[in-house]
Amino acid sequence: MTIDATRSDQVLDTLRRHAKRITEPKRAVVEVLVGADDHLTADEVTQRVQLLRPDVSPSTVYRILEELEDLALVVHSHAGHAAAVYHLAGQSHGHVTCVICHVTFEVSSDVFDRLARELMSSDGFELDRHHVALSGICQHCRS
Amino acid sequence: MTIDATRSDQVLDTLRRHAKRITEPKRAVVEVLVGADDHLTADEVTQRVQLLRPDVSPSTVYRILEELEDLALVVHSHAGHAAAVYHLAGQSHGHVTCVICHVTFEVSSDVFDRLARELMSSDGFELDRHHVALSGICQHCRS
DNA sequence: GTCAGTGCAAACGGTTTGCATGTTT
DNA sequence: AAACATGCAAACCGTTTGCACTGAC
């Protein structure tokens, strides 16, 4: 959890640079996101944050996630009716969610690069790759 | 609205074939969907239905849409946080929603065919093309 | 007559917001 | 001290559900 302190500090520094205040709830949310293995719903973030600081409320988590997203430090995406999933902004990639096991995978940006190019040339549509959410059935659940 | 009576009848016939009852609310929902120019939210469907039959309730519309979807007569998709959009099932295609004007476009299935093929070969992921919902900025809003 | 379908109202899950209080700067 | 961030509870929106009643078969 504290292994990647550098990454957390980068995020906190960006907050400082934008004149945002560094608070305990924010530290906890950032720590959770940095330590997250995969994409988390707001509720999952809240639960993990509350292991560290039980008093942090869900609404605060939502507000922090929104602030981080405004600074392009965090990205969220939707899949089906389900709750949105959040993760630290990293390299550009697409999301794909299995309708059976509900796990969200990242797929290489190559595939989406091509898709984006085709949409632009065929329809003049500028794809927001960070917000991609495709549904389907993953390899594991197909067998 | 009544121009495409054939299409409505096809839908109603399918309902009959599946031992479903043909009711006034169902007729109205089907009529609205057949006459729809683009993709409608459940709320929009309800509003249009209520122009014909003011007493039809939103929950009934949801139930009818669900029934039609179970019979593969209707398809819905999601884009961002927004409400789901419904439309009659037709040829396979993908959806793309503009984050600025909130209009949902259909894009040719070629683009999605290729995407589906790539996802299958790279990740073993079986894309559900009917449920695709991509976000971005449309040609009109980019200018 | 039977049972699926309906209207209503209440419940629901995820998210947002108003406000009084607490904390960072 | 001032401004911002937080906790709580209530509101919100889209959707689902329980129940008594109606209407299609």
Q: Which residues of chain B have pLDDT under 70?
A: 1-5, 79-81, 91-94, 108-110, 122, 129-133
Strand nucleotide closest to residue B57 (CA to C1'): C7
Claim: this prediction has a pTM higher than 0.95: no
User: CATH code for A93-142?
Assistant: 3.30.1490.190
Name A117's Cβ contacts closer than 8 Å, sequence gap at least 6.
none
**Could you identify the residue whose CA is nearest to the C1' atom of nucleotide C16?**
A59
Chain A contact residues (CB < 8 Å to B): 78-81, 84, 96, 98-99, 105, 107-108, 111, 114-115, 118-119, 122-128, 131-139, 142
Q: DSSP class of residue A84?
A: P
Nearest of A31, A133, A121, A53 to residue A85 by alpha carbon: A133
pLDDT of residue B110: 67
Indicate yes or no: CB of A119 within 8 angstroms of CB of B135: no
pLDDT of residue B73: 93
User: CATH code for A5-88?
Assistant: 1.10.10.10
Asked if residue A50 lies in contact with residue A24, where contact means CB atoms within 8 angstroms, the answer is no
Type of residue numbered A97: T
**Could you identify the residue whose CA is nearest to the C1' atom of nucleotide C25?**
A21
pLDDT of residue A9: 93
pLDDT of residue B105: 75
Indicate yes or no: CB of A108 within 8 angstroms of CB of B126: no
pLDDT of residue A134: 78
Which of the residues B98, B108, B115, B130 would you substitute to probe the A interface, choosing the one with the greatest number of A C-beta atoms within 10 Å? B115
The DSSP code sequence of B18-80 is: TT----HHHHHHHHHHHH-SS-EEHHHHHHHHHHH-TT--HHHHHHHHHHHHHTTSEEEE--T
Chain D positions with any atom < 7 A from a protein CB = 4-10, 13-18, 23-25
Dump pLDDT digits (tens) for B113-138. Answer: 777 777 777 677 778 766 666 778 77
Number of helical (H) and strand (E) elements in chain A, helices listed first: 6, 7
Out of A108, A111, A123, closest to residue B105 by CB:
A123
What the block records as the tokens of A47 is 């639960």
Contacts for A99-102 with beta carbons within 8 Å, 24 or more apart? A99/A135, A99/A136, A99/A137, A99/B128, A99/B131, A100/A137, A100/A138, A100/A141, A101/A138, A101/A140, A101/A141
Indicate yes or no: CB of A137 within 8 angstroms of CB of B128: yes
Asked if residue A43 lies in contact with residue A58, where contact means CB atoms within 8 angstroms, the answer is yes
Residue A30 CA to residue A32 CA, distance in Å, equals: 5
> For each successive 10 residues of chain A (143 residues), what is the average pLDDT?
74 94 97 88 96 96 96 84 84 70 71 75 73 75 74
Out of B98, B107, B128, closest to residue A136 by CB:
B128
Return the domain boundaries, chain A.
5-88, 93-142
* Residue appearing with tokens 């993953």: A138
pLDDT of residue A93: 63
Say how many residues make up chain B. 143
Dump pLDDT digits (tens) for B12-22. Answer: 999 999 999 99
